[in-house]
Structure 1
Amino acid sequence: MAPLINLETEYPIIDSSFRNFCASHGIFSVEDFLIHDLYMLAAFAEQSMSSERLKEGITQVLSIIDEMHQPWLNGMELLEDAKRNKHVLPTGIQGIDLLLGGGVRIGQLTELVGPSSSGKTQVCLQTASNVASNHMVLYLDTGNSFSPERIAYFLGKTNDLASAQDKKSILQKVMSNILCHSVFDIFAMFDVLHQLESHLRYQDGGGGCQMRLLIVDSISLLISPVLGSNSTQGRALMLSAGYLLKKLAHQHNLAVLVINHTVGSEVGSSKPALGDCWKSIPHSRLFVSCDHGSNDYNVSILKHPSMASGKAARFLI
């Protein structure tokens, strides 16, 4: 969901006068409407000299929110969509692909959870290098974790028998298919995702190399700061981000892969960050850990729409 100023071109009613009225009540974006008392806002609009135009603007923003909700689908429509569009993308990591029945699922949001240095970013980089051989990948880097050198390393291992010229050609193709954006706050992520949504509308009708994977490394680095500053608004922003990621995945046939960190719990063990409100967002949750002092990694299913929790596998990177 966008800042109000970004909507004026398409919706002239959301002009500077309307935005100034909203700003006077602490509303600067579509997200702010979701946590505001709209009856009170309408009452303030009634007191203005331009009350009719302000109420028209409020109605317009509400209609934008309504348009962003998916239409109801019956079971048969969902099954047909799954057969036609919702396949899997192999990560290129044998243990994970075997565990997940082929890879991360298109149309769904998959979350990697784990402590620091547990291999989460390495899984994302390996997956990006594998998918980018045939599709476009968007990598949102929130903590300067993206490493083109690691991408090149993974490609070298995969294509170690290829000639030097072929290796160079493969590297150039894969690197050109990975778009990396640095985003350091949740509002920057919203801007990038809205740009992506506009791009995908045009992509869906054409051919060529299409985007199939979106990675956010990591979602917790973007959301944790807003949860700490204002819990009500922070939760609204968090849920809006989750909704938008799932909407992009479903409507445009993307696999969305996000990283989440762990935090300490009251009983002393670690648990996924971002709390109970977030845990309902991902379709699948995978817990990743590393054996201390080795290159052996473990992955287990915390949540999956079609597989039992607790299933586990080992893998190497």
Structure 2
Amino acid sequence: MSKPPLTLYLAAPRGFCAGVDRAIKIVEMALQKWGAPVYVRHEIVHNRYVVDELRDKGAVFVEELDEAPDDRPVIFSAHGVPKSVPEAAQAREMVFVDATCPLVSKVHIEAERHHENGLQMVMIGHAGHPETLGTMGQLPPGEVLLVETEDDVADLMPRDPEKLAFITQTTLSVDDTAGIVAALKNRFPSIIGPHKEDICYATTNRQEAVKAMAPKCDAMLVVGAPNSSNSKRLVEVGARAGCSYSQLVQRAADIDWRALDGITSMGITAGASAPEILIEEVIDAFRDRYDVTIEMVETAVERVEFKVPRVLREPA
């Protein structure tokens, strides 16, 4: 039997960003320099495939620093950590490497600068997400107020409404965040915002590609992890941009083929921590069932690279 035709739209950019690329490289270089095991506090990036690959090479993933021994190197994840974590590592005289994405570190520096200027911070982010916990943990308790939605803005009780600044998690929906920022400015006209938007280039670019691709598609899949904020935002952006079936899958095995019955066009993208090999796996699964024609939907070209920390570039 001949396979039904399917136009497969592939978003570009998609998948790994510079911060994720750097974080994975840091773990690999640490293993080369110090040998196994190297401990990593929290998943280095939110992707099971990546974490399992690094575990096979000798990385040991722990949730808290207490679980790592004093005499082995420890790496802090790309999402960033509260200030108390490197302080604890220093107190134990541990060798540690910070794999925090430089664009997350930029938000940390921003928060500290505003704090030094006597401003209380409002953070737009998701409660409990490692990046949010890391950013809020840069300042003393009570100095960062968290909002997740426009409704939360009405409940804010700042110390001084005239002395406020806001920062955001780097992986949020651009459109949702714009609404929250507008609500903050409406309620606190003197609130100070970032010099340059905190939502990172990779998050913005992947959302723009989805907005361009979604109206062409009967269905759309985002390759990513359920605990990946930027991946979940891509699913939401796809649905809002006109693709009624927009779903997250970790691997090709997760595809619900019955839900895709009768489609003639399909969109595929991937969150910033999903490797290209998983995207290829999904494409191959469609080739097994359809006569696939691939069309690229490219909205930006990324050439960003971040250096790894000097300690890894120096000989052991």
Normalising by the residue count of structure 2, what TM-score does the alignment of the two structures yield?
0.26
Query: Using CA pairs below 8 Å that are at least 6 residues apart, which structure has the higher relative contact order?
Result: 2
TM-score, reference length from structure 1: 0.26
Return the structure number with greater helix share: 1
